[in-house]
């Protein structure tokens, strides 16, 4: 079920309309209202919280673009070297304090917080509708703080609407943003207004924030804080509700239209498949991950694969991910079911899809993203080859992640429970059950189950593994040749993760220049340009 969401503030509409009247020399008639007259009714509250949802949806494409580029599972790819320099530099750890993707993500998270604070402070929760809107605002403020704390560490903490003299906020204390995230999620829960799904198959209630969604993220933020005991209790609220279950359809369709708002959905956005409003909901989040069709030629494609469309050729799986996947599966019974529905090889494309390579493919080792492949039925607007995939929802959290987070939280205190949770995920992947579980088992299962879903980089940093795993990233960039062989296309000896620096993203240079109260993160110069 799809709903259209239109989000523009009343104040912004009034200013814009007044400006248009001035330019057209049309006399303004009547008072269109202002902020002081808003936030009074149930309808006002719902419009205000829609703006929060809209800000969250707008931020999602860029933040997960950035998160996967930071991980070790994909090549940046694209048409050529320098196709999207921001992405290339992030993927190779050559980004600076002026990287626009990092800057835009930083700004987008504070936009969510600002819109959430408007609802929290100005909507009086004295009706059920208004109370629910305020609870949802707390949830989204927590969501933004979770990522600010995980990625920037000591970025400013903004827990209220800032007055004119407060704009130049200083750094927060280490851990404060994650603690604030936990507090916000718990506040949303304690308002006792967020609904639960009616059943595992309920596809309507889950479009908005549920109580169990708030518990899932509350547990995640607690775990990231290091509070495993309380995190485990939060995850139990989701698991014991029996309202969520692992999707049992074809794994390759889990993140496609078929799997939207299924029993596994904990949090996903609601993209609208309407070509008339495509520009209101435009996102390339899936199209980026599609195959670079202008470098491929398909001849005798089998009917079962004819629904695959083209893309921009970014986020190509790395050979080390594929090889690690194969080893993991061999140790777990030799079943490649989950791998085959996540990654396709050049041999598969040749044999099953009649593919030939017509040009060198940059940032590609002969592996292609199947989990998030582009599909013809997802393309609602075609602009001369610039397809816009807006009808596929992005999954921010799935029940599989809840189980794996719960396994991690329970590992030291209830190993049997931890074992049960990880084995549920393995069973769906058609792997044999473990008889004992370690943190390394959980690390591996998270990597393979959640690959290409924006979790890998934060996991590596919080586990203390990033400096080892990412040390050589970007020093060599591979390409796929027309004969199917691979070779080194570019070498940059200075690339790669630097411990004590890349553990945290840099505060954007513009923030430092405009705000004398904020300090740059460790390892970064005040203004460090791209590629340095």
The answer to whether 48 and 133 are in contact (CB under 8 A) is yes
Per-residue pLDDT at 28 exceeds 60: no
280-293 confidence digits (pLDDT tens) = 656 677 788 888 88
Side-chain half-sphere CA neighbours of 180 within 13 A? 26
Q: What is the DSSP letter of 258?
A: G
Per-residue pLDDT at 403 exceeds 80: yes
Per-residue pLDDT at 7 exceeds 60: no
- Give mean pLDDT, residues 445-449: 98
- Three-point CA angle 30, 34, 35, nearest 5°: 165
- Give mean pLDDT, residues 216-240: 98
Query: Confidence class of residue 440 from pLDDT cuts 50, 70 and 90?
Result: very high
> What is the model's pLDDT at position 9?
31
Closest alpha carbon to 217 in 425, 396, 413: 396
Encoded tokens for 258? 């078929």
Percent of the chain with pLDDT over 90: 75
Greater pLDDT, 508 or 354 = 508
| Strand 314-317 to 265-268 pairing | unpaired
Return d(Cα 338, Cα 254) in angstroms, integer: 11
Contacts of 371 (CB under 8 A, 6+ apart): 252, 254, 255, 341, 342, 343, 451, 452
Percent of the chain with pLDDT over 70: 89
- Give mean pLDDT, residues 321-329: 97
Q: What is the SS3 string spanning 57-83?
A: HHHHHHHHHHHHHHCCCEEEECCCCCC
Residue corresponding to tokens 């469309």: 309
Q: Which of 9-23, 38-52, 371-385, 515-529 has the lowest mean pLDDT?
A: 9-23
> What is the model's pLDDT at position 8?
32
Q: Is the dihedral of CA 203, 214, 70, 450 positive or negative?
A: negative
113-152 confidence digits (pLDDT tens) = 999 999 999 999 999 999 999 999 999 999 999 999 999 9
| Strand 476-480 to 361-362 pairing | antiparallel
Per-residue pLDDT at 279 exceeds 70: no
Encoded tokens for 438? 């370690």
> What is the model's pLDDT at position 283?
66
Helices (H), ranges, 332-433: 337-340, 346-353, 399-410, 415-428
Query: Confidence class of residue 18 from pLDDT cuts 50, 70 and 90?
Result: very low
Per-residue pLDDT at 176 exceeds 50: yes
Encoded tokens for 342? 């996540």
Return d(Cα 73, Cα 446) in angstroms, integer: 12
Return d(Cα 298, Cα 292) in angstroms, integer: 12
Residue corresponding to tokens 């969604």: 213
The per-residue pLDDT of the chain, averaged, comes to 89
Per-residue pLDDT at 21 exceeds 50: no
45-99 confidence digits (pLDDT tens) = 999 999 999 999 888 878 999 999 999 999 999 999 999 999 999 999 999 999 9
Q: What is the SS3 string spanning 195-253?
A: CCCCCCCCCCHHHCCCHHHHHHHHHHHHHHHCCHHHHHHHHHHHHCCCCCCCCCCCHHH
Per-residue pLDDT at 420 exceeds 80: yes
Instruction: For the chain, list the domains and their CATH numbers.
Output: 1-38 (no CATH), 48-161+172-194+498-532 (1.25.40.390)
Return d(Cα 129, Cα 50) in angstroms, integer: 13
> What is the model's pLDDT at position 527?
66
Backbone angles phi, psi at 379, to 5 degrees: -85, 115
Return d(Cα 65, Cα 80) in angstroms, integer: 18
Q: What is the DSSP letter of 509?
A: H
Q: What is the DSSP letter of 375?
A: B
Return d(Cα 343, Cα 361) in angstroms, integer: 17
Encoded tokens for 497? 């993760």
497-529 confidence digits (pLDDT tens) = 999 999 999 999 999 999 999 999 999 987 676
| Strand 310-311 to 291-292 pairing | parallel
> What is the model's pLDDT at position 413?
96
> What is the model's pLDDT at position 308?
85
C-alpha torsion 107→109→114→119, nearest 10? 160
Closest alpha carbon to 476 in 363, 341, 343, 354: 363
> What is the model's pLDDT at position 228?
98
């Amino acid at each position: 079920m799809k709903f259209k969401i239109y989000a523009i503030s009343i104040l912004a509409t009034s200013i814009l309309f007044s400006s248009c009247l001035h330019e057209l020399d049309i006399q303004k008639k009547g008072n269109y209202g202002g902020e002081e007259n808003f936030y009074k009714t149930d309808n006002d509250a719902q419009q205000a919280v829609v703006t929060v949802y809209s800000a969250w949806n707008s931020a999602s494409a860029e933040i997960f673009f950035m998160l996967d580029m930071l991980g070790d599972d994909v090549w940046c790819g694209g048409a050529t070297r320098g196709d999207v320099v921001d992405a290339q530099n992030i993927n190779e750890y050559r980004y600076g304090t002026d990287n626009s993707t990092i800057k835009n993500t930083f700004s987008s998270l504070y936009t969510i917080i600002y819109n959430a604070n408007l609802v929290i402070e100005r909507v009086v929760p004295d009706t059920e509708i208004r109370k629910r809107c305020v609870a949802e605002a707390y949830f989204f403020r927590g969501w933004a703080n979770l990522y600010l704390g995980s990625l920037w560490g000591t970025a400013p903490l903004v827990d209220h609407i800032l007055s004119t003299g407060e704009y130049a906020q200083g750094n927060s204390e280490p851990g404060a943003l994650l603690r604030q995230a936990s507090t916000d999620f718990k506040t949303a829960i304690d308002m006792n207004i967020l609904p639960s799904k009616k059943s595992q198959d309920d596809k309507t209630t889950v479009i908005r924030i549920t109580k169990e969604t708030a518990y899932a993220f509350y547990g995640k933020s607690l775990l990231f804080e290091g509070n495993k005991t309380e995190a485990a209790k939060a995850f139990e609220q989701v698991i014991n509700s029996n309202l969520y279950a692992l999707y049992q359809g074809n794994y390759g369709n889990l993140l496609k239209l078929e799997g939207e708002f299924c029993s596994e959905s904990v949090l996903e956005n609601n993209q609208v498949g309407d070509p008339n409003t495509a520009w209101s909901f435009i996102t390339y989040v899936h199209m980026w991950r599609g195959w670079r069709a202008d470098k491929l030629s398909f001849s005798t494609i089998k009917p079962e694969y004819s629904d695959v469309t083209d893309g921009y050729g970014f986020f190509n799986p790395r050979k080390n991910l594929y090889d690690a996947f194969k080893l993991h599966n061999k140790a777990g019974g030799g079943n490649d079911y989950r791998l085959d529905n996540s990654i396709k090889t050049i041999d598969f494309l040749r044999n099953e899809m009649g593919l030939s390579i017509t040009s060198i493919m940059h940032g590609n080792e002969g592996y292609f993203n199947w989990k998030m492949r582009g599909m013809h039925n997802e393309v609602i607007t075609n602009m001369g080859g610039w397809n816009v995939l807006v009808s596929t929802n992005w999954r921010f959290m799935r029940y599989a992640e809840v189980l794996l987070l719960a396994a991690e939280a329970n590992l030291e205190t209830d190993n049997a429970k931890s074992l049960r949770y990880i084995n549920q995920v393995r069973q769906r992947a058609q792997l044999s059950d473990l008889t004992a579980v370690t943190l390394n088992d959980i690390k591996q299962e998270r990597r393979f189950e959640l690959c290409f879903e924006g979790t890998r980089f934060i996991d590596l940093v919080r586990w203390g593994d990033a400096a080892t795993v990412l040390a050589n990233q970007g020093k060599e960039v591979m390409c796929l040749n027309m004969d199917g062989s691979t070779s080194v296309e570019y070498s940059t000896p200075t690339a790669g993760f630097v411990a004590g620096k890349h553990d945290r993203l840099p505060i954007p240079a513009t923030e430092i220049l405009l705000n004398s109260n904020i300090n740059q993160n460790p390892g970064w110069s005040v203004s460090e340009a791209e590629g340095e």
